[in-house]
Structure 1
Amino acid sequence: MKKVTVLFSLSLISAAYLSLTGCQIVASPMAGGIYNETKYGDVATTHNSATKEGKACGTSILGWVATGDASVSAAKAAGGITTVASVDHSAKNILGILGEWCTIVKGS
């Protein structure tokens, strides 16, 4: 039983170490191992008709648990948008512990 406890403890420590030393836990065009907060465009048609903005986010903890709805449809609903003019994204990562991925939709 003692060997099983030691092996289990080592596997937990290894998993924790790998999750904290790996890449950031949210996608971004730039890497920031300690801190990353970036915003970047994905799809754009015309910004002239963009009178509203909606944002939808998901979060990740240690890269182990991720929750939220960062879809375009959720962002449209949040901003009351029916016609999409542009879709942007933002990503935030703090020490690989807390991550946030957002979709930002502009339109009318």
Structure 2
Amino acid sequence: MKIKALFLAFGVLALNGCAVVSSPVGSALFTDVSAPVSATNATDASRVGKSCASNILGLVATGEASIEAAKRAGGVTTVSSVDGYSTNVLFLYARYCTVVKGQ
């Protein structure tokens, strides 16, 4: 009986994870929001680059949501603005994307 209780406790602890993401309004059961991160004096925004990272159950996180990765993806050399996009579904799946606009 003690062994079953130990396995049950271990299983609960092993599966206890939450996927959360940065958001300007906090997290809810479902979140899909965007927010500004940064802006510069550059006005031309003819190119757009996007980079994302995701998290599943708070156990597996992959991706690169850096500004540099977004610049590379869009071929942006001069940044005019940076925005962040957050998605969270029932704390099971979370995704954060960085979008860089510039030339």
Please give the TM-score of this superposition, normalised by the length of structure 1.
0.84
1:75 aligns with 2:74: no
Separation in 1 of the partners of 2:78 and 2:36? Answer: 17
Q: Kindly state the Cα deviation for residue 3 of structure 1 after the two structures are TM-superposed.
A: 2.9
Displacement of 1:5 in angstroms is 4.6
Question: 1:63: how far off?
Answer: 1.1
Identity of matched residues, % = 40
Question: More deviation in 51-60 or 25-34?
Answer: 25-34
Deviations 1:18-47 (CA, angstroms, capped at 9, x unpaired): x35xxx611111124210001000100146
Query: Which runs of no fewer than 5 residues in structure 2 stay unpaired?
Result: none
Q: Tell me, in whole angstroms, the C-alpha distance in 2 between the residues paired with 1:44 and 1:63.
A: 31
CA distance in 2, matches of 1:34, 1:47: 37
Give structure 1 stretches of 5+ with no counterpart: none
The match for 1:12 is 11
- Structure 1 runs (4+) greater than 6 angstroms displaced: none
Instruction: Output the CA distance in 1 between the equivalents of 2:13 and 2:28.
Output: 19
- What TM-score results when the alignment is normalised by the length of structure 2? 0.87
Q: How many residues align?
A: 103
Structure number with higher helix proportion? 1
